Structure 1
Amino acid sequence: MRKKLASVLVFLLVTAVLTACTGPQSYTETFDAPGTWRVESSGDVVGEVRDGVFDFTVNADELTSWTTAGEDFSDGIFSVEATQVAGPNNNAYGMLFRVDDENDNFYSFQISGDGYVWIGRYQDGGATEAEPIVNDWWFESPVINQGNATNKLSVQAEGQNLIFFVNDQEVGRVTDDAFSSGDIGLMVRTLGVGGVQVQFDNFNLDPLPLIHR
């Protein structure tokens, strides 16, 4: 009886360990504390955690800047709230996922203050031209709250299948296998006029629904 009980306990322990190792990933960042996100303060870029948000300003007229969290994720539902605070509406801001920091390779999901979407991949940090993977370049979307407003960006990533949402409305989907896992990040771009300020909050990674696993 003792041997049988011991075998059952070993089986349960192994099962628990395997479940922990292979179970769905989750993450929550409310920016109530500095955490692990990279910050910067220079003439061109100011990015800092303060007052419960990641406050990100790009002052240069033509610049792409991003920050990462120092994490490593693959599949799940990534989401972040982004609020444009100041600057011209001809801008770009959004989230990064599956970031390879060493080589500056990542997927980027961007919107603009004047109601456009850009979804694509960067390689070598854009040293080679960034490549769109949904539509040919920027495309207009009526679901974006334009100007100084808040938008929720979400990506459902399951292997090579990626679905993109703004304010819980789908804006694109694609099958792409360029990057399978990596860090998460935030991005702000200026497109000719500087002073774009965006505040990010509530970056979450939720497990995929059971039907997808």
Structure 2
Amino acid sequence: MEGGPADNAYGVVLRQQSSGREFYRFKISSDGYYGFDLRKSAEWEDIVPWTKSDVINTGKASNQIRVVCQGSTFSYEVNGVKLGECTDNTLASGMVGFIVEALSQGGVEVAFGNFTIRELPGK
């Protein structure tokens, strides 16, 4: 988080379809929450609703996000601590990217760095 209101969301987009309208996203916020959801048919489905975590650095502090997608299972961690995992088989593959969202007012500034994609061992 570089600047702007704490009422925000930022993270990674997973398995985005070529239309750009269907994807998963793992998101965190500058006020210490995380969530995992699915965008499909112009609707959002919460797979993991916004959940508070003391692991997430708040304010303008940096956070390290890691998501492992293995089949229909997604495990997610922030700052080296596994927060959980979930299962959904709606989207089997797709593109990856970033997401930044201002929830109540504009001006959110986020910087991403050191982005790595790799195949899991044994796959």
Does residue 1:149 correspond to 2:61, yes or no? yes
SS in 2 for 1:203: coil
Paired residue type of 1:189: E
User: How far apart are the structure 2 equivalents of 1:175 and 1:204?
Assistant: 22
Q: Which has the larger radius of gyration?
A: 1
Distance 2:20 2:118 in 1: 26
Distance 1:195 1:164 in 2: 27
More helix by share: 1
Cα distance in structure 1, aligned partners of 2:51 and 2:95: 26
Residue 30 (structure 2) pairs with residue 85 (structure 1): no
- Separation in 1 of the partners of 2:64 and 2:99? 14
Q: Deviations over 1:21-74 (max 9, x none)?
A: xxxxxxxxxxxxxxxxxxxxxxxxxxxxxxxxxxxxxxxxxxxxxxxxxxxxxx
2:5 is aligned with what amino acid?
A: P
What is the alpha-carbon distance in structure 1 between the residues aligned to residue 23 and residue 88 of structure 2? Answer: 12
In the TM superposition, what is the alpha-carbon distance from 1:208 to its structure 2 partner? 1.6
- One-letter amino acid of the counterpart of residue 28, structure 2: I
Query: Which residue in the other structure is 1:30 paired with?
Result: none
Q: Residue 26 of structure 2 aligns with which residue?
A: 109
What letter is aligned with 2:88?
D
Match for 1:180: what amino acid? A
Tell me the distance in 2 between the aligned counterparts of 1:103 and 1:193. Answer: 24
User: Which runs of structure 1 show a deviation greater than 4 angstroms over 4 or more consecutive aligned residues?
Assistant: none
SS where residue 138 of structure 1 aligns?
A: strand
Sequence identity percentage = 39
Residue 103 (structure 2) aligns with: 191
Does residue 172 in structure 1 map to residue 80 in structure 2?
A: no
CA RMSD, 1 decimal: 1.3
Deviations along 1:59-98, whole A, 9 cap, x unmatched?
A: xxxxxxxxxxxxxxxxxxxxxxxxx001011111010010
Task: Quote the residue 2:11 is aligned against.
Answer: 94
Query: Could you say which residue in structure 2 is the equivalent of 1:201?
Result: 113
TM-score norm. by structure 1 comes to 0.55
Contact 1:145-1:151 at 8 Å conserved across structures: yes
Q: How does 1:1-213 map to 2 (within 5 A)?
A: 84-102=1-19, 104-124=21-41, 127-128=42-43, 130-134=44-48, 137-210=49-122, 213=123
- Aligned-partner Cα distance in 2 for 1:103–1:195: 24
